[in-house]
Every structure is written in structure tokens, then in C-alpha cells.
Structure 1
Amino acid sequence: MKIGIIGAGNIGGNLTRRLTALGHDVSVANSRGPHTLTALAEETGATPADIADVAKGARLVVVTIPLKNVPDLPAGFLDGADEDVAVLDTGNYYPQQRDGLIAEIEAGLTESRWTEQHIGHAVVKAFNGTYAEDIIDKALPKGDPGRVALPVAGDDEAAKQLIRDVIDELGFDTVDAGGIDESWRQQPNTPVYGLRGGVEEITEALAAASPERTDDFKA
């Protein structure tokens, strides 16, 4: 599969490592330019790219950047992607720690709905509560009883299924967490956030979530 990854931090870097190892054709971009991705490209075989070009021909695009930087993504960066491109959003709103105040999210808009509105395309939310090292260290074969499960939220059922299939290939189970308007259930400081659990534990944690944002994650 042709995959474009925007963001080469902890999550983006480890997804690049795993997805290239599985044989996917991965292009990776960051805000500092392709010349800063030489080491990652040499390690993995991924292709360094500009953000404006990274999605060209891609069936899957991963957006894994600080939420505050989403409005800075170039207009039309998805224009050259596959017509059925699925967009995976790993982002979180950290108002005190990094992002500053985003009024719409403070007023109750889910983080991924806000991202959708800025990029003009439906997204699927996953990996936002995953420890980056687990992408490398916790992968297990399908059917292994110790497999970790990840919540996956999104409105586009075909895109959600494609991403769930990729997550399965990466070595993790998934739990359908509903649509993007329900994705508050996996935002920071909810029971499922950072939980290393199986399908049953993840399902229970999603059900136990409260829509009230905790004080640590309010501006």
C-alpha cells in the first residue's frame, strides 16, 4: 500500500519503521523538510517528501503532528491522494502543555472533528493514546491472547475498516469506538487513554468515559 506519513516524531517514526518493514511503500514528511529525514529514510527505506507532496498516490495518510500545527498544513495537501484515501489522525489537544487555547475544542468539539474541519477531509482517530514504543514492542500475532487492542473512531466506515486492517497487520486488535462525535471517549485523561488492554478492557474503558474534560486538559 502507498502510505504518506506527516510527522516524524515518536509515533510517526515508529509507524514508518513498522509499515516499511511490512513491505508498504511509505513516504514521510515533517515541518522541517525532507533533508532532516535522511537518517530515518536510510534506516527504513521510506521516501523523504515535502508535506505538499507526501500524500500523492497514497491510499492511507497518517497525520501525526501537534494539534496546534494542523491549521498550518498546506491547502490541498490531499489533492493528489487516492480518491478513496483514508486519513488517520493520531492527534491530541494538550492546551496547558503545548497547544494553547483552541476555543472550539474548549466548547465541546471533539479534537478529531476540529482536525477534520481544518483539513477538509474525514479522519479516523487511532493511536492517540498509544505509547510510541508499544508500536515496536507490543505487536503480537493475530489470535495471541496477550494482544493489545486500540480504540478506533471514525464516520467513514470504509476508511475505518482499512485502518483497522492495517492496525491488525501491525500486531494489534481493535475496538470500534463509534463515530468522530464519540471520539471524546479516547481523548487525553479518559479511562482508555494509555491503557494497555485487550478488547474487553478497552471496550469497558470506552463505556466508562465522561464527556467532561478534566482540569489538566482544559486551557
Structure 2
Amino acid sequence: MISNEKYRIAVLGTGHIGKTLARSLASAGHSVKVANSRGPETIAPDVLETGAEAADAVSAIQDAQVVILSIPMAKLADIAPLIRTLPEYVIVADTSNYYPHRDGNIDAFSDGQVESAWVAHLLNRPLVKAWNAIGSDSLATKGTAEGTAERISIPVAGNIEAHKKMVMSLVSDTGFDAFDAGTVEESWRQQPGAPCYCTDLTYDEMESALAATEKTRLPARRDIAVQAIQERMGDKRSNPSADYIVRLHRALFL
């Protein structure tokens, strides 16, 4: 459900997911400030063309009602001290996923800790997990109006119901049906390797996909997908298209 409320939102990170969220949420009428680690002058004009404002991280979170972290897992420790200063009422949404080849080895995940629970502990505050289980191209190009047939769904997990519901309304504002995926402790069902991960499922398909997730299989399935994509890119002739990546994940995970 799209909310009529408009919020002050900070998006930290201008990678593929972060920049799309900044664009789509600003287009939906929210007041959006966006920051990266290199300074506001480095933020590309296309990130700002729907109304988002470039800022440094400190300025971006000042007076924000919602802070969206779209930062690689290995870089979250750098921003953690700043996030810990936020008032309790500020909602923190996290889009991150753990990829060992990019983030290095994090022992807690080898022991089976849920990624979002680890992030919440690092930040020392509650968070909502959202926008992590959709590919960047699908997020940028496949959003549709509420009520559209075959609208793609995005799982959202969190422990504070009011926070989760607000983020779910923002997910709808970005063009997707939000699916209540339970608590942060249950959010392993939307980690890389899961049936709902980058498979562009509808709302009606999401419940069974989450239920079918096998936690112990996630790391191996994640790594198989990464290897397949890297091999496709490595031949320098056939970089994988966005549709290929969705088809690959569907073939491996569903």
C-alpha cells in the first residue's frame, strides 16, 4: 500500500541499489538526501535528476526520519559510529548482502549467524531488511503501479512492526509489492542463495518461496551463482544481461 505520508529520507551509498532508491523515492515525493564515501561533489547528476539532494553523510542523516544503508557489508563498520548517534525514532533500513569474494571472510557468517542480525549488532540498533533480494536492474526498470498484474514483490523483515510497516510503504513507493517476511532473525530467508533472491517473484509466489528456503544450503547456492556469473563475464564476449541473471537465479534456486 502506498502511503500518503511523505518522509525525510537519507540514502547512504550511491551504488546501483542506492542511486535507484534515491531516484525513485524522490520521484514519489519524499525529501531525499543522498551521500557516498567520496563527497557530494562526486554524486552523478542522474542520481539527483528526480529531486534528491547531494550531501555528506552527516548532513544527510540530520533530521532524517528514515536512513537507508546501501553499502557493501565490509564497509558498514565505517559508517556504524555515525548510525549509532541516531535518535531511537529514526528507522534504519539495510539493503546489504554478504559476498565473501567482495567483503572478505566474516567468521560469524561461517557459524551461521543471520546477516541482518549481525548488522543490527554492529550498528547497536534495530533495523529493517529491505530491497536486498532484488537485482539492481529489476529495481531500476521493473517497478510498476500498485495493483498492476504480476507486480514484483520484495520481502521486508524487521522486529519493530511500525518501522517495518513504514518501510513496506516505501517499497511500494519504489514500484513493488512489499511482503512481510517476519523478523530480522528470519531474514535469512531472503539472503543470497534463497528462492526469493533475484528471481522477480510476485506477491502470491513469495510466501511459498520463503517457506522453501533451506538455511544450510544458502552459502553453496550463493557461490554457485557468483561463479556462473563470473565465468560468463570472463569470456569478454558475453557479459550477462539482467534477464540472464534472473533466469540463472530461477534455475538454481526455484
TM-score normalized with structure 1 length: 0.92
The question of whether the paired residues in 2 share the 8 Å contact of 1:55 and 1:78 is answered with no
Shift of 1:80: 5.0
Q: Which amino acid aligns with 1:118?
A: L
CA RMSD, Structure 1 to Structure 2 (Å): 1.7
Q: Which residue of 1 aligns with 2:197?
A: 193
Residue segments in structure 1 that go unaligned for 5+ positions in a row? none
213, 216, 235: which one aligns with 1:209:
213
Q: Which amino acid aligns with 2:194?
A: T
Provide Cα deviations, 1:161-218, integer angstroms capped at 9, x if missing partner: 0000111222211211111111111100111101211112111110000111333657
Q: Secondary structure at the match of 1:13?
A: helix
Provide Cα deviations, 1:65-124, integer angstroms capped at 9, x if missing partner: 10000011151335355x5211111100001x2011001121111111111111122111
Q: Using the alignment, how far apart are the partners of 1:135 and 1:107 within structure 2?
A: 31
The question of whether the paired residues in 1 share the 8 Å contact of 2:154 and 2:176 is answered with yes
TM-score normalized with structure 2 length: 0.80
Q: Using the alignment, how far apart are the partners of 1:166 and 1:42 within structure 2?
A: 18
Choose between structure 1 and 2: higher helix proportion: 2
The residue correspondences of 1:57-206 to structure 2 (distance < 5 A) are 57-73=63-79, 75-77=81-83, 79=85, 83-95=88-100, 97-206=101-210
Q: Secondary structure at the match of 2:205?
A: helix
Residue segments in structure 2 that go unaligned for 5+ positions in a row? 1-6, 224-254
The question of whether the paired residues in 2 share the 8 Å contact of 1:110 and 1:183 is answered with yes
The question of whether the paired residues in 1 share the 8 Å contact of 2:92 and 2:126 is answered with yes
Q: Using the alignment, how far apart are the partners of 2:138 and 2:222 within structure 1?
A: 24
Which has more radius of gyration? 2
Q: Secondary structure at the match of 1:54?
A: helix
Q: Using the alignment, how far apart are the partners of 1:139 and 1:74 within structure 2?
A: 31
The question of whether the paired residues in 1 share the 8 Å contact of 2:196 and 2:209 is answered with yes
State the aligned residue count: 216
The alignment-based identity, stated in percent, is 38
The question of whether the paired residues in 1 share the 8 Å contact of 2:69 and 2:95 is answered with yes
